[in-house]
């Protein structure tokens, strides 16, 4: 492969390792939570809760690192040896792109709005009477969001 056709190796190298490293951390966090669940200490482990919160944004970082690996790693080709990325542009006019983007935004806003409305409705009604004993109750948790609302008796 000629030097001018080679992608920037450092970006691909590190982005791939970041993606895989975060994936392995996610698997380890899952295994740790499984072990703590078997030991009936899942809700008591403050370090696991902190690690879970810290891992929250890393999923997005892994997705972006995977995207960088894919997109930067294939440059300058869309299809290796056949089609350069510079020749891959579509001849669609700007108004057509704007119309499809507008349609996507409207559809996603409607779906997202309905999803939020439905989640809030479910949260307002609380669990059904038949669901009260379906999961293990957490022990020694002091989080205010897990405490019973005033006026409801614990079952």
Determine the structural domain holding residue 2 and report its residue range: 1-86
Looking at the structure, tell me whether residues 17 and 45 fall in a common domain: yes
Looking at the structure, tell me whether residues 2 and 31 fall in a common domain: yes
The angle subtended at Cα 88 by Cα 107 and Cα 76, nearest 5°, is: 120
pLDDT tens digit sequence for 9-26: 899 999 999 999 999 999
Looking at the structure, tell me whether residues 55 and 2 fall in a common domain: yes
Q: Which contiguous run of DSSP H or E holds residue 48?
A: helix 46-55
pLDDT tens digit sequence for 69-84: 999 988 888 887 788 8
Total tally of structural domains belonging to the chain: 2
Residue 96 resides in a domain = yes
Q: What does the pLDDT read at residue 114?
A: 97
Looking at the structure, tell me whether residues 12 and 71 fall in a common domain: yes
Residue 103 resides in a domain = yes
Q: What is the pTM of this model?
A: 0.60
């Amino acid at each position: 492969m000629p030097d001018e056709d080679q992608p920037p190796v450092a970006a691909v190298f590190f982005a791939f390792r970041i993606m895989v490293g975060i994936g392995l951390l996610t698997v380890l966090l899952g295994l740790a939570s499984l072990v703590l669940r078997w030991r009936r200490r899942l809700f008591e482990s403050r370090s696991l809760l902190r690690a879970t919160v810290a891992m929250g944004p890393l999923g997005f970082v892994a997705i972006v690192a995977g995207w960088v690996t894919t997109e930067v790693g294939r440059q300058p080709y869309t299809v290796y040896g056949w089609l350069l990325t510079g020749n891959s542009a579509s001849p669609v006019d700007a108004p057509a792109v704007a119309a499809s983007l507008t349609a996507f935004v409207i559809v996603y806003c409607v779906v997202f709005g309905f999803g939020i409305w439905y989640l809030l409705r479910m949260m307002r009604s609380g669990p059904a009477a038949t669901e009260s004993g379906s999961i293990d109750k957490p022990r020694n948790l002091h989080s205010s969001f897990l405490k019973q609302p005033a006026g409801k008796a614990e079952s």
